[in-house]
Structure 1
Amino acid sequence: MTAPVAEKPLFHVPSTAHVTAGLHHLGEAERAELVERIKRLLRERDAVLVAHYYVDDSLQRLADETGGCVADSLEMARFGKDHPASTLVVAGVRFMGETAKILSPEKRVLMPTLEAECSLDLGCPADEFAKFRAQHPDHTVVVYSNTSVDVKAQADYVVTSSIAVPLVEHLRDQGKKILWAPDKHLGDYIRRTTGADMVLWDGSCVVHDEFRSWALEDLRSRHPDAAVLVHPESPREVIHQADVVGSTSQLIAAVKDRDEPEFIVATDKGIFYKMREAAPDKTLIEAPTGGESATCTSCAHCPWMAMNDLVSLANTLEDTAEPATNKIFIDEDARLKALTATQRMLDFAAEHRKATAGDA
């Protein structure tokens, strides 16, 4: 049952061309000089770079080379919390910077640009979500990590896609009814997998919502030996064709561990960098979206993730103003509430790992 309380919020989706306009004109020597400057600035600012799997290859490579981290949003935040650096530079989208600040309030959290948003976050405003919650007061509130700190502050649990199914199973076994937000496709997948009693917020990711089942069927017919890897933010008809449904880290592991020589991948194509690193002998094929033309909203790459580049990263690190232009600020009361919901998930995940290790 999908039961939004208002019309779906409208927001502007930027063009991916916004991105690399500043990088394409750089020669190899200029690019190499820019990378060295960023490395020097990271050392001088006592900063560590944490990057999401979906940002540009150059940023993922730079994070690896400088002792940073390339991961999903929660692991990025956990890495930043445990790292001794006093400044965290988060290459991703705004909610990821906020998540880092939730777990590391004492640290300075910067981003290459604060304009990098997320359609799931933008599509679930905190005030409208509060009205939705009020309609279902007897439900346990579980929200996806792709939400603002103000939405997380209203939740009982914050989850990532890798832990959402077992956590909802746990709540189902306790007789709980679930209010889920914001991704309706992920929520539908969890509900079908667990059989839990769930109401879903009407949100979707501009990347994963673009994958087309009919086009995937055609692509599979031309690559019959390929395994299909799908992120559960994708539409149900796409998920039904998957050999593996999982989070970003789970899909990377599947490419490494499975025997198929080819993989059709239905998630943001930024993940290909780590997939190729994990399995350089495998062939990776982009799952088809709405089209490789002006009619395609995302073409399998988040336009906000694409706003992160070497130039914007260097500019952020060069900025000595206080407060810095691209510094993350969050309300302390909201942070503490969001931390409680996030910590519940972390505690559950730790117990779940112990239990599943014991079963192995």
Structure 2
Amino acid sequence: MSSEQAHLRSVVSDYLDRVQLPASLSASRQSELVAEIKQQLVAHNAVIVAHYYTDPLIQALAEQTGGVVADSLEMARFGSQHPASTLIVAGVKFMGETAKILTPNKRVLMPTLEATCSLDIGCPEQEFADFCDQHPDRTVVVYANTSAAVKARADWVVTSSIAVDVVDHLDSLGEKILWAPDKYLGSYVAKQTGADMLLWQGSCIVHEEFKARGIEELRAVYPEAAVLVHPESPQAVVDLADVAGSTSQLIAAARELPQQQLIVATDQGIFFKMQQAVPDKQLIIAPTGGSGATCRSCASCPWMAMNGLDNLLTALTTGSGEITVDEQTAHLARRSLGRMLEFNRR
């Protein structure tokens, strides 16, 4: 393990030791909270924008109340187009920042501002700026899983659903790429496009735990199953995939593939929407560390798990968890995000 990887793991471990996950709730308390939240959403002209990796209770509530469950690109687009004056972003902090940057006239609340991302943590603003300054000849492309400040330093922001297309476009123009922060997704994009890419060495603590050996062993048990993998996973895992893609692309693949059994290597929160898409298929979570695993993620993001019904209601009723982004940062980040949205429209 490199010194950079050791440092990131230390920082992540410190975060995980400090955070508190929402307490388990009885069925009656869940029903009470859902009813209260529905009333408060109407009272505050608010809508829930939830990520696929959040608790199924949150995802179901978003759908029931006219919100959306989506990947980060669709979350950003939905929030900017919805008439609600308040957005409740159930996800991690960079998603709330993106919503605020794209809709500065709206109030953006999150159930907790402690919900972050190892990719964001592992790409500090000043260190990244120094890295960019060392390579001024490269076009800076950053993954959406970064802070507003890092997005402000970038030329382009991409999500996993359009990363290959954007980099392929830039490569066709003869541009060399500086990519951050996920090294595995960056390697996947470089392999798909053949582009000249210099990679920041970040990783997702959830997807990094998937093991090729574990998937091979599981495939031996389910020989007819297709393997669906998010490209934030290590290359050896991606190499085993029948389909590699973003959360929305994996759900689409689940619909389109003929196989009735699907081994899924991404956060297990995706099963809520994937099972809706393919109710007659068997979904099998890919193993992470195998028997005796000691990972802190185990196919479930600990920060996504911090979004609960109780703190969502608190945010609505008290205005806690409000996202703010200073105007200079927002102005610069809006430029790189705008390129992403315009590219996607085209």
TM-score, structure 2 length as denominator?
Answer: 0.95
SS in structure 2 at match of 1:209: helix
Return closer, same or farther for 1:16/1:161 CA change in 2, 3 Å cut-off: farther
**Contact 1:45 1:317 (8 Å CA) reproduced:** yes
Alignment partner, residue 160 of structure 2: 161
SS in structure 1 at match of 2:36: helix
Alignment partner, residue 266 of structure 1: 265
**Equivalent runs, 1:143-292 vs 2, <5 Å:** 143-291=142-290
**Contact 2:314 2:320 (8 Å CA) reproduced:** no
Alignment partner, residue 11 of structure 2: 11
**Contact 2:12 2:118 (8 Å CA) reproduced:** no
**Contact 1:42 1:317 (8 Å CA) reproduced:** yes
**Contact 1:10 1:123 (8 Å CA) reproduced:** no
How much has 1:77 moved relative to structure 2?
Answer: 1.6
**Are positions 1:347 and 2:339 aligned together?**
no
**Are positions 1:325 and 2:324 aligned together?**
no
Where does structure 2 lack aligned partners over 5 or more consecutive residues?
Answer: none
Deviations 1:28-80 (A, max 9, x none): 22211110001001111110001000000000000000000100112112111
Task: Indicate the larger mover: 199-208 or 166-175.
Answer: 166-175
**Are positions 1:68 and 2:35 aligned together?**
no
**Contact 1:185 1:204 (8 Å CA) reproduced:** yes
**Contact 2:205 2:297 (8 Å CA) reproduced:** yes
Q: Distance in 2 between matches of 1:116 and 1:188?
A: 27
Alignment partner, residue 131 of structure 2: 132
Q: Distance in 2 between matches of 1:152 and 1:17?
A: 26
**Contact 1:157 1:345 (8 Å CA) reproduced:** yes
Return closer, same or farther for 1:212/1:80 CA change in 2, 3 Å cut-off: same
Alignment partner, residue 337 of structure 1: 332
Where does structure 1 lack aligned partners over 5 or more consecutive residues?
Answer: 352-360
Alignment partner, residue 306 of structure 2: 307
AA partner of residue 67 (structure 1): G
**Are positions 1:88 and 2:90 aligned together?**
no
Q: Distance in 2 between matches of 1:103 and 1:31?
A: 32
SS in structure 2 at match of 1:274: helix
Deviations 1:72-131 (A, max 9, x none): 112112111111110000000000000100110000000000000000001000100001
| Number of aligned positions between the proteins | 343
AA partner of residue 320 (structure 2): T
**Contact 1:156 1:341 (8 Å CA) reproduced:** yes
**Contact 1:15 1:303 (8 Å CA) reproduced:** no
SS in structure 1 at match of 2:116: coil
Return closer, same or farther for 1:163/1:102 CA change in 2, 3 Å cut-off: same
AA partner of residue 199 (structure 1): L
Q: Distance in 2 between matches of 1:102 and 1:327?
A: 13
Q: Distance in 1 between matches of 2:88 and 2:313?
A: 11
How much has 1:172 moved relative to structure 2?
Answer: 0.8
Deviations 1:147-182 (A, max 9, x none): 000000000000001111011111111111000000
AA partner of residue 192 (structure 1): K
**Contact 1:89 1:112 (8 Å CA) reproduced:** yes
Q: Distance in 1 between matches of 2:61 and 2:261?
A: 28
Deviations 1:323-349 (A, max 9, x none): x33100101111111110011111122
Q: Distance in 1 between matches of 2:325 and 2:20?
A: 27
Deviations 1:3-30 (A, max 9, x none): x8x965841342699424x2x2x33222
Q: Distance in 2 between matches of 1:311 and 1:338?
A: 32
Q: Percent identity?
A: 59
Alignment partner, residue 354 of structure 1: none
Return closer, same or farther for 1:78/1:292 CA change in 2, 3 Å cut-off: farther
Runs of 4+ in 1 over 2 A off after TM superposition: 6-10, 15-20, 291-294
Alignment partner, residue 122 of structure 2: 123
How much has 1:294 moved relative to structure 2?
Answer: 6.5
